[in-house]
Structure 1
Amino acid sequence: MGADELLSLAKTGDGEAFRDLVAPYHRELQVHCYRFLGSVQDAEDLVQETLLAAWRGIGTYEERASVRTWLYRIATNRCLNALRAGGRRPHDHAAHRPEVPLPEPSRRRPEPSWLEPYPDVLLDGIADQVPGPEARHEARESISLAFLAALQQLPPRQRAVLVLRDVLGFRAAEVAGILDTTENAVTSALNRARSALAKEMPDGGRETAPLPDSPRERRIVDEFTRAFETGDVAAIVALLTDDAWLTMPPLPLEYQGPDAVGHFLATVALCDGRRYSLIPTRANGQPAFGCYLRDPRTPIGHAHGVLVLELAGDRITAMTRFLDNSLLAAFGLPRSLRG
């Protein structure tokens, strides 16, 4: 059944036709909301709110824009409302207490980062979609942690304009319609957003990252896994770029450079003979791991968050350690390992 027929039936109150009409957009709407909110669960909640609002308003949908654009209009404004309300943030780890004192960071952000990793399995089929001709960022880059962390620093309105224009490729007139504003206002907000994003995004590296699951990527991941699981700080440091970052959302502390990262690993993460098991997965288009701290007295590994690597060339340019153990479930990983 074609989209026009599904739309006609949905307007008469046919719920099954409506579900078939919006189903192709569910996953891309989830990624869209994730870019705004930084949380998979919050993004899915907003998608459900979007689809409920669309169902309630389907009878008055005037078809002046495509169904896809109409859904993006609803989703974008739901995201902006959520950001203004400030209620969609993970509070459990805002007061995270480290087990040992943390060294002085290279940089201390004024606000915690509420970013969470996005499982690559949820990206299947989305990255292959061709964005509009106005897009400036490739699909892989626009879901990277570096891009999303920089995006979080933008005011909500600028965030919306940049995502709609430079990631999804909507035209200025379409974005103006989505946000109920003028094309001049869209252009002005976009220029400010691009300027701010350029200051936040790390220079270079993205173009030289090895392809996913390529031999080069697997070699780097294997070397890192061996070094981390054996507590070999020197070997980990040897894999880092000169400007590599270590971050631990939601903590606002950031460590840059091999010396700072190595000192943190030696005095905190791998101190006192701590050893980990790493279970490979993928997040935000990059290699990732479920981390499990080995219990020296039992054959059990206890959940210790999710670790995501960002690669450039043959080196690691960023290590992002997410402290929330509940994130493991989104990757199909257990809360503990045995043996």
Structure 2
Amino acid sequence: MGADTELEELGSTGLAEVDEPTFSALAQRHRRELHVHCYRMLASFEDAEDTVQETFLRAWRRRETFQGRSTFRAWMYQIATNACLDLLAKRRPEPATGGEVLWLQPYPDRLLDELATDDAEGPETAAVMRETIELAYLVAVQHLAPRSRAVLILRDVLGWPAKDVAELLGDSVNSVNSALQRARAGMREHLPAERQDWTGGDGDVATRDLVQRFTDASLAKDVVGLAAMLRDDVRCSMPPTPGVQVGREAVLADWIGDGFEGLGAMRTVVTAVNRQPGLATYLWDEQEGAYLPLTVDVLRVSDGLVTEVVIFHADQFPRLGLPEALASAGES
């Protein structure tokens, strides 16, 4: 039973007189999709979590304003979008610059899998949903002004009509259409040119093979082997640490400079993040007698080569559902 069917059953009072448990049950149906929406807007898992909580609080406090002119789901999206815009105005008055987003955080595929799917929507819709959660897309979106960002996501990701977006933002349809044109132009400027050639997630056989070879070379500290898998113009970043390395030589020099070749014994766990393959690395700690979290490398693959590596710190392991430690190879 859909949320709006349930609203109809509430009678003429609608949301105005429902109790908090009933309202919470209605809202919770949309928690994951609202969280993903806020994440696209903000590129931060933690900020998205806070914003969804704020959305639920605002919705409960303003429940009498729901008049049934739109669906309950659309009403919740309106509140969530405005909550994101309020947060952006308060915390980040300017969009990202320079091709990096220091507040970027990963989104585990295991949570993305909670999103409801409709087989009738077809493969094209599924492709859009996948492509618009990938890290390169999120980075590009963060370079847009907040309202243009909202217009782009509502129109091109969620497929809302221009008049509905205009109503949500309190703008005219002409203003929304102009913002969408600017946003699309900005995305073309900041998205990788070869995006149509991306191999996709870890379900692709060739990608799985490349990830395995990348894993083996990483464990062996095989710089030459890793170099053979990196494209000439590969990019590497490690948010929230500033700096983007561009080009095979620059990336390898940075890894070597950070002491990659001198690291101790390591183990890895293959994972999936933002619909991209990820490699969680653990480093042996003699004092703890276990392999402890080190980094998560999220790979973008094009035409059989790694074209981008985004490295996240060990503090992201719990969110990604990764083990807090690995036993030595001889232990169970």
Is 1:291 aligned to residue 281 of structure 2?
Answer: yes
Q: Could you tell me how far apart the structure 2 residues matched to 1:160 and 1:259 are? A: 37
Q: Could you tell me how far apart the structure 2 residues matched to 1:175 and 1:135 are? A: 19
Deviations, residues 212-264 of structure 1 (Å, cap 9, x unaligned): 32322221111111001110111111112222111111223111222222222
Per the alignment, residue 293 of structure 2 pairs with 303
Shift of the 82–320 alpha-carbon distance from structure 1 to 2, 3 Å rule, reads: same
Matched residue SS, 1:42: helix
Q: Could you tell me how far apart the structure 1 residues matched to 2:125 and 2:161 are? A: 9
Q: Could you tell me how far apart the structure 1 residues matched to 2:121 and 2:158 are? A: 5
Aligned length: 318
Q: Could you tell me how far apart the structure 2 residues matched to 1:137 and 1:305 are? A: 28
Q: Could you tell me how far apart the structure 1 residues matched to 2:100 and 2:203 are? A: 34
Opposite residue 102 of structure 2, the aligned amino acid is: S
Matched residue SS, 2:115: coil
Residue in structure 2 matching 1:31, options 18, 23, 36: 36
Q: Could you tell me how far apart the structure 1 residues matched to 2:22 and 2:239 are? A: 41
Per the alignment, residue 17 of structure 1 pairs with 22
**More deviation in 295-304 or 284-293?**
295-304
Indicate conservation of the 8 Å contact 2:235/2:308, yes or no: yes
Gaps of 5+ in 1: 89-107
Cα distance, 1:20 vs. partner? 3.3
**More deviation in 19-28 or 29-38?**
19-28
Cα distance, 1:276 vs. partner? 3.0
- Give identity over the alignment, percent: 39
Cα distance, 1:311 vs. partner? 1.3
Matched residue SS, 2:235: strand
Per the alignment, residue 81 of structure 1 pairs with 86
Cα distance, 1:18 vs. partner? 2.2
Per the alignment, residue 59 of structure 1 pairs with 64
Residue in structure 2 matching 1:199, options 186, 189, 197: 189
- 1:181-200 alignment, distance < 5 Å: 181-200=171-190
Is 1:272 aligned to residue 262 of structure 2?
Answer: yes
Shift of the 245–274 alpha-carbon distance from structure 1 to 2, 3 Å rule, reads: farther
Residue in structure 1 matching 2:159, options 144, 154, 169: 169
Q: Could you tell me how far apart the structure 2 residues matched to 1:110 and 1:217 are? A: 25
State the TM-score, normalizing by the size of structure 2: 0.87
Opposite residue 7 of structure 1, the aligned amino acid is: L
Indicate conservation of the 8 Å contact 2:266/2:284, yes or no: yes
Q: Could you tell me how far apart the structure 2 residues matched to 1:185 and 1:76 are? A: 17
Matched residue SS, 2:154: helix
Is 1:333 aligned to residue 296 of structure 2?
Answer: no
**More deviation in 141-150 or 49-58?**
49-58
Is 1:322 aligned to residue 321 of structure 2?
Answer: no
CA RMSD of aligned residues (A): 2.7
Q: Could you tell me how far apart the structure 2 residues matched to 1:208 and 1:112 are? A: 21
Opposite residue 316 of structure 1, the aligned amino acid is: V
Shift of the 137–85 alpha-carbon distance from structure 1 to 2, 3 Å rule, reads: farther
Deviations, residues 12-32 of structure 1 (Å, cap 9, x unaligned): 223343233223311110000
Opposite residue 328 of structure 1, the aligned amino acid is: F
Gaps of 5+ in 2: none
Matched residue SS, 2:182: helix
Per the alignment, residue 6 of structure 2 pairs with 6
Per the alignment, residue 100 of structure 1 pairs with none
Opposite residue 79 of structure 1, the aligned amino acid is: C
Cα distance, 1:274 vs. partner? 4.4
